[in-house]
Structure 1
Amino acid sequence: MVIRSRVVAVLPPARRRTLLLTLLCFAVSLAIGLQKWSAVQLGGFDLGIFDQGVRGYAHFGLPTSALKSFHHEFPPGFSLLGDHFSPVLALLAPLYWLWDDPRSLILGQALLFAAGVPLIRRIAARSFAAADARTTRRATDLAGLVYGLGWPLLIAARGGFHEVAFAVPLTLLMLERGQARRYATAAVAAVLLCCTKEDLGLMVGAFGLVLILRARRSHDRRGLAYGLGLLLGGPLAAVAAIRWLIPAMGGQPGYYWNYGELGPDAGSAAAHVLGDPLLLVQAAFGAPLKPLLLLWLVGTTLALPLRSATVLCAAPLIAERILSDNPNHWSIARHYDAFLWPILLTAALEALGRLYADERTRRTSRRLGVAVAGLALAAAVPLGLVGLFTPSQWQPKAGEAALVRAAAQIPDGASVEADNQAAPRLTARTDVVLVDGTPRGREYVLTRSDKRSFPFATDREQAARIDLLLAHGYRQIWAEDGVVLLHRTGTEPVPGVHVPGPDSVPVQDVVPSDVGHNLFRG
């Protein structure tokens, strides 16, 4: 500890502050994720799914996930590359060689988020290049703090893990290298973004447009060439992933088409919009939460990103959400805002830097900068920071604690149907799928009888499932606090048992009726 302190002390002041802010971002993101794990609030959807997938990579195989494929009825041969095209997740496999545990993903996500701190500080320093040294120092320090403790990253950390872990630092790298006119590295980051999630190719294309606009003003031929390449290559990569790569991995091209108000597929939607552009307005403002989402994104940044061309990169991602008819996309209680965070913060810093460079708006720039930082940090307090210092939020409730105790009684290598919250405790040592609306005939079934769990609509459905299984070859071997563990001891067929086969047609979950009415609830 003394040696580490001495190492920090001998670093130049700027690097010392970068290191401290990076460690702060890492510590907070990691603590939030581990808190949710400790309180048994992370489920098979999505932590367990990614755990199974990355474990597949760690064993030099495909990223298969029984939790995902069984519940959504994907045919055999399906891998997570058929869900979202995210081969970049293979880079996390070495973590499993060191620690074969779902919490490796929580650790990995915290490291990736923290990697963005030096990048956002560089962006801030370049944006305030015309300012005096003191102002630049304050701007870079504040940018690092706001980035690391901003509400989008805190909310993403609460979810355990998602592809957004890679999207955040890679987007910052692309923007920062583009700002520095290091276009080759920016292009590499753009390629990796296309390998992070298929729709990020649209964001890469928008970044190409940004480069073109800037290159035309500065007569930068290299910037223009790279911009044209990204403008064309990003959307082409997205189309290729959706139409060919995802189906090749067992997925369906239109599985995530959530734009029924516009048309049944992309082609018909484009034709309908061209014929009646008002359809876009109707889809974008057809639910009260959609304009509230826009107001939140604009209001918490005081509309500063709108003063920078960089905000164009956010347009495809925002359009995906507000045009969607899936209510899960409309709130800020999920990880989706973290995709936008690097873009919005970079655009805000660029706008503030230009305002500061103009003596007439210098005082305004200072006030706006402080206001944006205050809003971002104030929003973070109720959305994650306070909970870290509340001991009760580190402890599971009685039912969740019972799930953990029940899971510990299941032997290694067993085939299991498990409650969503218990599934991540079993992925490392059992063949586990989700307890859902279809019996799977597995050796063990771990579920609840008195509290609704995803994906059931009511707890009565879960109680009925228990009764069905007890009447057809299962016996109860453990029960506590509403949690029931069943073991199959007979050979009597269970009515309705089904295992996805070659002719299975993938299905999506029905969104609960209480989703889509509150901006702060998922």
Structure 2
Amino acid sequence: MPATRHSRRAPAQAAVWLVAGVTSAVYAVLACLQHERFSTGVDLSIFSQVARRVAAGQIPYSEIKGADYPIFGDHLHPVVLALGLPWRLWGDPRALLVAQALCIGVAVAVVGRVAVERLGGRVGLLLTVTLALSVGVQAAALFDVHEVAIGSPLVALAGADFVRGRWARTTLWVALFPLVKEDMAVLMLGFALALLVAGQRRRAVLLAVWGVVALLLALEVVIPMVNPLGIYPYSGTTTLAPRYLWRSLVADGSGSTTVLVLLAGAGLLALRSPLVLAAAAPLGLLMLSSNPSYWGLRYHYALLPVLVLACAAVDGLARTRSGTARRVTLTTAVAVCSVMLWQGPAHDSIEQARHPCPRCAAAEEAVSQIPIGAEVAADDRLTPHLVADRTTVHVHPNSWVEDPRRPDWLALDRRSTTGRHARGRAWVAELEQSAQREGYRVTWERDDYVVLRR
């Protein structure tokens, strides 16, 4: 009988991989199109510099973070070393965008397989598609490159094996979370709580202890030891307090919107699974933060909670015998997915691609003014197009004060309103004036792009 059931579900399992492959392909194409339209930013540049050095067998560091700045002095995320492989195959930032899309596709497939196993072919495939199109996945795939996306298959494996009741394997995957990033300790604690509720007390305690130890080692020992200043660089930049929970969920409202969209998108029956506790841990941390960027759905922060909630949805549906409850939760998930597909990052990216880019030719020409191998400082949108074969530094408001480095070349967009300390204001004109006072001269300009040389 089990063999018969397996044979019936084999086509659906193959279809899961097809959905995952299409997911990876679509997001890779859209991300590369965004890059070609100069819509990628400094995060892609940082990881490209790391990947370039790893591929060359060098110590991974990023000039954008600082002179001779080892990347593990910024965050402890060993998973980024894997980015050296796609860079060796194609020495271009777009290789990382493709690699990220592939990792996300694998995570979707892992969740889709357990959905088909537990819920059957049609329902399992439906959940696989809604996950692939969810706003959390869209945002992560289409916002530069980040370590959490590279580590997403690991989280998917942990959630899927939790649903299967494979406690030893779940514990192993969760124990590896610190390889992704130091703050994954919060998700580890969430999984520990879920395991505790599932009756796995010993495993829960071990993971909770390891999560706290891994976090303290990262923040107090490893990162300060590698950091040029001997500190954890984000200490004090973001605070956690109950008043921010009020602001995010009530006063501002973007936090409550995020929670409702993610939960409804997974299906309300996800609440029946202990895995909801695992997803609640990182979401709670985001909502307690003083940084409003963490509260919404624009960036990559919702990716891992979405994967965990998708596994919780599989578990919750499998626990439910009421056909009406199952239909309602699936209908809700499809409805939320449809709305987010129409209003989310993928729609915006497709709409962008349908129209000509009025300033892309000028931006490409600005990049071409910088000699290969030269040292150049550039703003957010230009850096990703320079890092492959130039030594690239990032400029932003106050950078002339904070950073003593003065590369020979500057490449700037006078219309830029992005960058650290920018807060939505045009700031390049001020930097350009400061540079000219220090001996830089304009060598080329077009459509508000300007290149200066010292």
Q: Which moved more, 1:456-465 or 1:188-197?
A: 456-465
CA distance in 1, matches of 2:435, 2:248: 45
In structure 2, which of residues 219, 234, 248 is the aligned counterpart of residue 255 of structure 1?
234
8 Å contact from structure 2 (residues 104, 141) kept in 1: no
State the aligned residue count.
Answer: 437
- AA aligned to 1:446 is A
Please name the residue that 2:55 is paired with: 58
Please name the residue that 1:133 is paired with: none
Please name the residue that 1:288 is paired with: 252
Please name the residue that 1:80 is paired with: 71
Please name the residue that 1:152 is paired with: 136
Question: What whole-Å deviation, never above 9, does each CA across 1:280-315 have from its counterpart, x for those lacking one?
Answer: 865665742333333333344453332211011112
Please name the residue that 1:4 is paired with: none
- AA aligned to 1:49 is I
In structure 1, which of residues 16, 22, 25 is the aligned counterpart of residue 23 of structure 2?
25
Report the alpha carbon displacement of residue 12 of structure 1 after superposing the two structures with TM.
4.9
In structure 1, which of residues 97, 107, 118 is the aligned counterpart of residue 109 of structure 2?
118
SS of equivalent residue, structure 2 residue 347: helix
SS of equivalent residue, structure 1 residue 212: helix
Report the alpha carbon displacement of residue 13 of structure 1 after superposing the two structures with TM.
1.8
8 Å contact from structure 1 (residues 32, 384) kept in 2: no
Task: Spell out structure 1 runs of 4+ moving beyond 6 A.
Answer: none
Report the alpha carbon displacement of residue 433 of structure 1 after superposing the two structures with TM.
0.6
Confirm or deny that 1:365 pairs with 2:326.
yes
- AA aligned to 2:277 is L
Report the alpha carbon displacement of residue 119 of structure 1 after superposing the two structures with TM.
1.4
Please name the residue that 1:232 is paired with: 209
Q: Which moved more, 1:57-66 or 1:476-485?
A: 57-66
- AA aligned to 1:66 is E
In structure 2, which of residues 443, 449, 454 is the aligned counterpart of residue 477 of structure 1?
443
Percent sequence identity over aligned pairs: 26
CA distance in 1, matches of 2:164, 2:250: 41
Q: How does 1:3-402 map to 2 (within 5 A)?
A: 12-44=10-42, 46-69=43-66, 77-128=68-119, 136-214=120-198, 216=199, 223-250=200-227, 252-253=231-232, 255-257=234-236, 260=239, 262=241, 282=246, 285=249, 287-289=251-253, 290-355=255-320, 358=321, 361-387=322-348, 389-390=350-351, 392-393=353-354, 395-398=356-359, 400-402=360-362
CA distance in 1, matches of 2:301, 2:204: 26
Report the alpha carbon displacement of residue 255 of structure 1 after superposing the two structures with TM.
1.6
8 Å contact from structure 1 (residues 171, 342) kept in 2: yes
8 Å contact from structure 1 (residues 67, 433) kept in 2: yes
CA distance in 2, matches of 1:363, 1:346: 20
SS of equivalent residue, structure 1 residue 165: helix
SS of equivalent residue, structure 1 residue 420: coil
Report the alpha carbon displacement of residue 126 of structure 1 after superposing the two structures with TM.
4.2
Question: Aligned in 2, Cα 1:228/1:126: closer, same or farther, shift over 3 Å?
Answer: farther
Question: Aligned in 2, Cα 1:256/1:378: closer, same or farther, shift over 3 Å?
Answer: farther
SS of equivalent residue, structure 2 residue 204: helix
CA distance in 2, matches of 1:350, 1:208: 17
Segments of structure 2 that go 5 or more residues without pairing to the other structure are 1-8
Question: Aligned in 2, Cα 1:184/1:295: closer, same or farther, shift over 3 Å?
Answer: closer
TM-score (norm 1): 0.77
8 Å contact from structure 1 (residues 446, 486) kept in 2: yes
Report the alpha carbon displacement of residue 36 of structure 1 after superposing the two structures with TM.
1.0
Question: Aligned in 2, Cα 1:66/1:121: closer, same or farther, shift over 3 Å?
Answer: same
SS of equivalent residue, structure 2 residue 370: coil
Q: How does 1:423-462 map to 2 (within 5 A)?
A: 423-436=383-396, 437-439=398-400, 440-455=405-420, 456=422, 461-462=427-428
Q: Which moved more, 1:339-348 or 1:106-115?
A: 339-348
CA distance in 2, matches of 1:191, 1:312: 17
Report the alpha carbon displacement of residue 94 of structure 1 after superposing the two structures with TM.
1.3
8 Å contact from structure 1 (residues 85, 198) kept in 2: yes
8 Å contact from structure 2 (residues 366, 451) kept in 1: yes
8 Å contact from structure 1 (residues 404, 422) kept in 2: no
- AA aligned to 1:297 is L
CA distance in 1, matches of 2:171, 2:122: 30
Report the alpha carbon displacement of residue 138 of structure 1 after superposing the two structures with TM.
0.8
Q: Which moved more, 1:372-381 or 1:306-315?
A: 372-381
CA distance in 2, matches of 1:146, 1:208: 27
CA distance in 2, matches of 1:115, 1:469: 46
Report the alpha carbon displacement of residue 224 of structure 1 after superposing the two structures with TM.
4.3
Segments of structure 1 that go 5 or more residues without pairing to the other structure are 1-10, 70-75, 129-135, 217-222, 263-277, 489-522
Report the alpha carbon displacement of residue 394 of structure 1 after superposing the two structures with TM.
6.4
- AA aligned to 1:22 is A
- AA aligned to 1:438 is S
CA distance in 2, matches of 1:461, 1:83: 26
